[in-house]
Chain A
Amino acid sequence: MSFADSILEGNRLALARLLTKIENDTIEGREALNELFAHTGRAHLIGVTGAPGTGKSSLVNHLALYYRNPSIGKARQVAIVAVDPSSPFTGGAILGDRVRMRDLAGDPGVFIRSMASRGSLGGLAVATSGVVQALDAAGFEIIMVETVGAGQAEVDIARLAHTTLVIEAPGLGDDIQAIKAGILEIADVLVINKADRPGAEITERALRGMLQLAHPAPHIFQNHHKDHSWGEPGSQQFKEDDSAVWIPPIQLTVAIEGQGIPELADAIARHYQHLMTSGELSQRERSRLRSELDNLLRDRLVARWRATVSQDAYNQALHNLVDRKISPRQAVDLLLNGDAS
Chain B
Amino acid sequence: MKETEETVERKIRVLVAKPGLDGHDRGAKVVARALRDAGMEVIYTGLRQTPDMIAESALQEDVDVVGLSILSGAHMALAPRVIELLKANDQDHVKVFVGGIIPDEDIPLLRKLGVVGVYGPGTPTDQIIKDIRQAVAK
Q: Write out the residue numbers on chain B whose beta carbons fall within 8 Å of the beta carbon of A105.
A: 50, 52-53, 56-57
Contact check: which of A17, A25, A98, A102 meets B8 at CB < 8 Å?
Answer: A25
Q: Are B41 and A92 in contact (CB under 8 A)?
A: yes
Say whether B60 contacts A113, CB under 8 Å. yes
Interface positions of A from 66 to 106, Cβ below 8 Å from B: 86-87, 90-96, 98-99, 102, 105-106
Nearest Cβ in chain B — how far from A85, in angstroms?
Answer: 11
Interface residues on B, range: 35 or more
| A98/B45 in contact, CB under 8 A | yes
B38 and A92 contact, CB distance less than 8 A: yes
Q: How far in angstroms is the closest Cβ of chain B from A289?
A: 19
Tell me how far the C-beta of B4 lies from the nearest C-beta in chain A, rounded to whole angstroms: 7
Docked Cα-Cα span, A113 to B45, in Å, equals 12
- 8 Å CB contacts to B: which residues of A179-207? none
B90 at the interface (CB under 8 A from A): yes
Q: Which residue of B lies closest to A11 (CB)?
A: B90
Q: What is the CB-to-nearest-CB distance from B134 to chain A, in angstroms, rounded to a whole number?
A: 18
Given A16-B61, A113-B60, answer yes or no on A92-B40 (Cβ-Cβ < 8 Å): yes
- Within the assembled complex, what's the spacing in Å between the Cα atoms of A118 and B35? 16
B33 contacts A by Cβ under 8 Å: yes
B105 interface residue per 8 A CB criterion: no
Bits for B29-41, please: 1 = Cβ < 8 Å to A, else 0. 0001101111111
A99 touches B11 (CB 8 A): no
A138 to B45, CA, bound (A): 25
Most buried by A among B33, B40, B41, B50: B41
Determine if A90 and B36 form an interchain contact, defined as CB atoms under 8 angstroms apart. Answer: yes
Judge whether A93 and B3 touch: CB under 8 Å: no
Name the one of B7, B43, B53, B89 contacting A106, with C-beta atoms under 8 angstroms: B53
Q: Provided the pairs A19-B62, A20-B62, A111-B60 are in contact, do residues A116 and B44 lie with their beta carbons within 8 angstroms?
A: no
Find chain A residues with CB under 8 A from B90 CB: 13
The answer to whether A24 has its CB under 8 Å from any CB of chain B is: yes
Contact yes or no, A116 B57, CB < 8 A: no
- Check if B61 sits within 8 Å of A113, measured CB to CB: yes
Complex interface bits, B51-65 against A, C-beta within 8 A gives 1, otherwise 0: 011001101111000
* Neighbouring B residues of A176 by C-beta, 8 Å: none
Q: Is B46 at the interface (CB under 8 A from chain A)?
A: yes
A106 touches B61 (CB 8 A): no
Bound Cα distance from A91 to B49, whole angstroms: 27
A225 at the interface (CB under 8 A from B): no
B104 within 8 A of A: no
Q: Is the CB of B42 within 8 A of A16?
A: no
Chain B CB within 8 A of A8 CB: no
Report Cα–Cα, A289/B84, bound state, in Å. Answer: 44
B39 touches A17 (CB 8 A): no
Q: How far is the CA of A12 from the CA of B1 in the complex (A)?
A: 33
Whether A325 sits at the interface, judged by CB under 8 Å, is: no
A interface residues, Cβ below 8 angstroms from B: 12-13, 16-17, 19-20, 23-27, 30, 86-87, 90-96, 98-99, 102, 105-106, 111-114, 116, 118, 300, 303-304
Further pairs besides A113-B60, A114-B61: 6, Cβ < 8 Å: A17-B62, A27-B6, A86-B41, A102-B46, A102-B53, A105-B57
22 sample A-B contacts, Cβ–Cβ < 8 Å, listed by A number: A13-B59, A24-B11, A25-B8, A26-B6, A26-B8, A27-B3, A27-B4, A30-B3, A94-B32, A95-B41, A95-B42, A95-B43, A96-B44, A98-B44, A98-B45, A98-B46, A102-B46, A105-B50, A105-B52, A111-B60, A112-B57, A303-B5
| 10 tightest A-B CB contacts, nearest first | A99-B46, A92-B36, A16-B62, A105-B53, A20-B62, A92-B39, A25-B8, A91-B39, A95-B43, A96-B44
